[in-house]
Chains A and B, each alone.
Chain A
Amino acid sequence: AQSVSQHNHHVILSEAASLELGCNYSYGGTVNLFWYVQYPGQHLQLLLKYFSGDPLVKGIKGFEAEFIKSKFSFNLRKPSVQWSDTAEYFCAVMPYSGNTPLVFGKGTRLSVIA
């Protein structure tokens, strides 16, 4: 069965700092990869997804993620964070077939301070 590890439980950054959140997955086959964000009091929203093609994926709000197959990683990045990026970020994986459900990591809480 697949699993997802998010290495950072809580990250605190100042505004304008660069962000990188780690995500590693465990699965031997082809996968679809996702980053979801959950702002305080709101529902899970998709930031970006990788299905195939260019391993550097750009999402909403200036976020991007790079799929490195050899490292089983899908790290999330943003060059300059804003206070409004304060949220919980979840990495998730699904086998390419789509016949097993999305598996989430435990999440990383990002706090951006002014």
Chain B
Amino acid sequence: DTGVSQNPRHKITKRGQNVTFRCDPISEHNRLYWYRQTLGQGPEFLTYFQNEAQLEKSRLLSDRFSAERPKGSFSTLEIQRTEQGDSAMYLCASSLIPGSGNTIYFGEGSWLTVV
């Protein structure tokens, strides 16, 4: 399967713990996006990278959240000192540079439950 790969698929953690999610985009895709989705809502943008540069961060991305894409390939999203409100599905997506008809492909998501 050469789609967007995310792991772990599910994570249950205690409040206050740190968690890290990994995303492997489709090979050669230079854009990588992180979104968050809660039940009954559409995906909400968190941040995106073009190659290794983080170009935009949403206001939803508090100081406890950090994302990296060190070599312009895979990316990690870390949440420090998790809170119950962080419980959601974290989606990763990738594309070639959009605006020229390129599709954004989504991974299966990483479910986070904070107890």
Distance (whole angstroms) from the CB of B54 to the closest CB of chain A: 12
User: How many of B's residues come within 8 Å of A, CB to CB?
Assistant: 24
CB within 8 Å for A106 and B42 given contacts A98-B97, A101-B33, A101-B48? yes
**With the chains together, A36 CA to B103 CA distance in Å?**
11
Binds B, one of A11-19, A43-51, A75-83: A43-51
- In the complex formed, the residue of B with least CB distance to A100 is B56
A22 at interface by CB-CB < 8 Å: no
CB within 8 Å for A106 and B99 given contacts A42-B108, A100-B56? no
B104 touches A97 (CB 8 A): no
- How many contacts between A and B, using CB within 8 angstroms? 57
User: How many of A's residues come within 8 Å of B, CB to CB?
Assistant: 27
- In the complex formed, the residue of A with least CB distance to B58 is A101
Q: Contact flags (1/0) for B83-115 with A, using CB distance below 8 Å?
A: 000000001010001111101111111000000
Distance (whole angstroms) from the CB of A16 to the closest CB of chain B: 28
**With the chains together, A94 CA to B35 CA distance in Å?**
15
A51 touches B41 (CB 8 A): no
**With the chains together, A103 CA to B56 CA distance in Å?**
14
Instruction: Give A residues with C-beta under 8 Å from B.
Output: 4, 6, 32, 34, 36, 42-46, 49, 51, 90, 92, 94, 96-107
Known: A49-B101, A94-B98, A107-B40. 5 other contacts (CB 8 A): A32-B99, A97-B99, A101-B45, A103-B45, A106-B40
